[in-house]
Amino acid sequence: MSVNPKFGDVYRKKKVHTLIAETFHPEQKEEKQKSLHGTNLILHVDHIDGNKSNNASYNLQWLTPAEHGKKTANSLSRSRPPNTRTIHLIAKNHKTGEECAIPGIAACRKLLRIGHKRVVDALGGASVACPDGWELQRHPASIQPLKGEHFQTIYFALESEGSGRVSRTLSLERPNGEANVPWLDVSNLGRIRFPGTSVRITWGTVTSDRYRVVQFRRRDFRVHRLVAEAHRQSEKRALIDSGAKEEFLHVDHMDGDPRNNAVENLQWLTPSAHRKETWRRMKSKLKGGEPL
């Protein structure tokens, strides 16, 4: 806070706490100035309790720049959360359902486009609203698995390359001879974990047709297909061995809800079997029975 007192015919901007310190602590200021031994350094007015809005005279003291800097540094080191490098901040997006564990203050500022103070508030335990539907909270470690949840890594193996286009096939085994193979971790409950220094997990974004999708390497992938590829491989292989063509196989939601991508709710079916199963569920609903 500052005021504009008049000195002779000139108005000069002066901070309130400085005016109060000059009025009530002139002897202390004079004593501190002597310790500067005639240098051009300017004395600082310090708020003893750290609250800059508390300008009571008992809360103010004159300090040399060195003394003020040391006091400020000591107060910061006391208030900084311990082991900040091991503390992750959890960002949750209320629009997309995505969750992201971000290690460190700098990463939070960059990814969420927020200021340093707001990140520190989150480290202190506050829930901080961020742009684009994000909310930032403190978490002592990376995002924890849900009860009964486990992840399976799937790799996007290079299948063919030509005419400027790259075709990839999904595999549970890392391809030999290919560096930097793209991969995702797929949960049996229907969550997707992305690679990178920041732990990022999402249920996927619900589209207009009610399916959940995730974007990876500039492509949209339906979550139920990823879950079935990661956790229903034996079922898929049995259909292929019986003569079904892999590229035509469908993944069916057994409860009829395309948003429920838990592995227990998914099954591989041929197109004809999928049509029959869908029609059976529709008839059950029309009859007023419980949807199967």
Tell whether 263 is covered by a domain. yes
Task: Check if the beta carbon of residue 143 is closer than 8 Å to that of residue 90.
Answer: yes
Distance of CA 288 to the CA centre of its chain: 43
Same domain, 63 and 36: yes
Same domain, 180 and 257: yes
Same domain, 125 and 91: yes
Phi, psi for 186 (deg, rounded to 5): -115, 125
Digit-coded pLDDT (tens) for 44-81: 898 887 778 888 888 899 988 777 766 665 554 333 33
Tell whether 146 is covered by a domain. no
Same domain, 28 and 71: yes
H or E stretch at 10: strand 10-11
The whole-angstrom separation of Cα 215 and Cα 205 is 9
28-32 contacts, C-beta under 8 A, 24 or more apart:
28/61, 28/62, 29/62, 32/62, 32/63, 32/64
Q: What is the mean pLDDT of residues 213-231?
A: 91
Give the CATH number of the domain where residue 280 resides. Answer: 3.90.75.20
Q: Which domain holds residue 126?
A: 84-139
Query: Tokens standing for 228?
Result: 């079935």
Tell whether 118 is covered by a domain. yes
| Average predicted confidence (pLDDT) for the chain | 79
Tell whether 199 is covered by a domain. yes
173 or 247, higher pLDDT: 247
Phi, psi for 129 (deg, rounded to 5): -80, 135
Other CB atoms closer than 10 Å to residue 274's CB: what's the count?
16
Domain count, the chain: 3
170 or 142, higher pLDDT: 170
Same domain, 48 and 121: no
Query: Tokens standing for 31?
Result: 């004593």
